[in-house]
Chains A and B, each alone.
Chain A
Amino acid sequence: MSAFVNPLAPRRPRAAEAVARIREWLRGRLALADGTVIVVNEVACAEPGCPDLETVIGLLSSSAASRTFKISKPIAAVTTADLERMVNGEAAA
Chain B
Amino acid sequence: MIWPLRKARTQDRASAESASEPAAIPVFLLTGFLGAGKTTLLNRILADPRFADSAVVINEFGAVSVDHDLVRAGPAQVTVTSSGCLCCTVSSDLRGALFALQEERAKGLGTAFARVIVETTGLADPAPVVAGLIPGTLPAFGLRDHVVARRFRLARVIAAFDCEHGAGPLEHHFECWKQLAFADDIVLTKGDRAPAAPWKAEIAALNPSARLHESMAPDFDLAALLEASSYDAATKPEDVAGWLALEALAQKAPSAAPLPGPSSAPITAAVAMAGPSASRHGGIATLSLIQDGPVDRTAFSTFLQMLAAAPRGSGELLRVKGLVAYRDAPDRPEIIHMVQHALCPARPLDGWPSDDRRSRLVVIGRDLREEPLRKLFDVTRR
Which applies to chain B's interface (DSSP): helix, strand, loop or mixed? helix
For the complex, what is the distance from the CA of A90 to the CA of B360, rounded to whole Å? Answer: 51
B281 at the A/B interface (Cβ < 8 Å)? Answer: yes
Size category of the A interface is 35 or more
B174 at the A/B interface (Cβ < 8 Å)? Answer: yes
B142 at the A/B interface (Cβ < 8 Å)? Answer: no
Q: Are B259 and A68 in contact (CB under 8 A)?
A: yes
Which applies to chain A's interface (DSSP): helix, strand, loop or mixed? mixed
Smallest CB separation, A43 vs chain B (Å): 4
Residue of B nearest to A72 (CB): B263
Point out the residues of chain A lying under 8 angstroms from B258, CB to CB.
93
Q: Are A62 and B279 in contact (CB under 8 A)?
A: no
**Which parts of B228-270 form the interface with A (CB within 8 Å)?**
238-239, 241-243, 245-246, 249, 256, 258-263, 265, 267, 269-270
Q: Which of A39, A71, A72 contacts B239 (CB 8 A)?
A: A39
Interface size on B, residues (CB 8 A): 45
B204 at the A/B interface (Cβ < 8 Å)? Answer: yes
Q: Which of A10, A15, A50, A71 contacts B261 (CB 8 A)?
A: A71
Residue of A nearest to B174 (CB): A42
How many residue pairs bridge A and B at CB < 8 Å? 126
For the complex, what is the distance from the CA of A18 to the CA of B174, rounded to whole Å? Answer: 11
For the complex, what is the distance from the CA of A74 to the CA of B1, rounded to whole Å? Answer: 26
Smallest CB separation, B266 vs chain A (Å): 10
Residue of B nearest to A52 (CB): B282
Point out the residues of chain B lying under 8 angstroms from A12, CB to CB.
202, 205-206
Given contacts A12-B206, A13-B171, A93-B260, are A39 and B278 in contact (CB under 8 A)? no
A-B complex: 9 closest residue pairs judged by Cβ atoms: A44-B282, A52-B282, A39-B242, A52-B283, A86-B261, A90-B260, A70-B270, A10-B205, A93-B260
